[in-house]
Structure 1
């Protein structure tokens, strides 16, 4: 079974740990590259653009509420990966009063569940769908 590469852009360490745990359980192996802020993510994406030997992620999960550069702004950099289709999930903890910022690079927009069991379930389902069925 092929190992899948996930770029996780998350500034809340507790959420990052939970996401990593749920993605690494059940199903095929998963390499998770964790970046904690938008600037770091843009530098990483630009290095992927410059050096094609870097591993292109199979899935990008980005927190919308990053401090410096949010997940939606990161999508503008991803758009330069013309030869690749990378599913992008934007997640938020803001609640339903915020309208999703979909653009042509966003596959889905999710609200982070507050209950831990539900949180883990959501990311297990993301892994199953985006890294098993689709990819």
Structure 2
């Protein structure tokens, strides 16, 4: 089975490390590419527009997106992805610490596929990630 391709857009190194640890034992296997803000994510998603060494990776089947980041935040990136005909089919799961009703509403208005508040407990954090990825990789059907 080919690994499920995920783009994690997250500026907090601690959260990146917890995510990497969680995916070491993930079923199905996952291939994780990390972008540290929205600008970096667009370089990965649009390699024809400059690109980065990460641009060689397969297009993601899922984007895990934080909200609060420098340069371009998660809501801005979500809007760009969902307005790009080549990218809008990719599910975008907001995976963030914000419980703000305004953030939740704004993300769904910008066509987020799902909004998950990050648990602070390491085991619950990993469990939430596994549940999200399991749903998108096995339960739902995605376009090729």
TM-score normalised per structure 1 = 0.84
Which residue number corresponds to residue 64 of structure 2? 61
Judging changes above 3 Å, is the alpha-carbon distance between structure 1 residues 103 and 20 closer, same or farther for their aligned structure 2 residues?
farther
Which residue number corresponds to residue 126 of structure 1? 132
Aligned residues: 135
Deviations 1:31-74 (A, max 9, x none): 110011121112222226899x8622100001011122111111
How far did 1:98 drift?
4.5
Structure 1: gaps (5+ residues): none
Judging changes above 3 Å, is the alpha-carbon distance between structure 1 residues 76 and 114 closer, same or farther for their aligned structure 2 residues?
same
TM-score normalised per structure 2 = 0.80
Q: Moved runs in structure 1, 4+ residues, more than 2 A?
A: 48-51, 81-84, 94-99
Larger displacement relative to structure 2 (104-113 or 83-92): 83-92
Alignment of 1:23-38 (within 5 A): 23-38=23-38
Does the 8 Å CA contact 2:81/2:88 hold for their aligned counterparts?
no
* Backbone CA RMSD of aligned residues: 2.5
Which residue number corresponds to residue 89 of structure 1? 93
Structure 2: gaps (5+ residues): none
Measure the CA separation in 2 of the matches of 1:130 and 1:90: 13
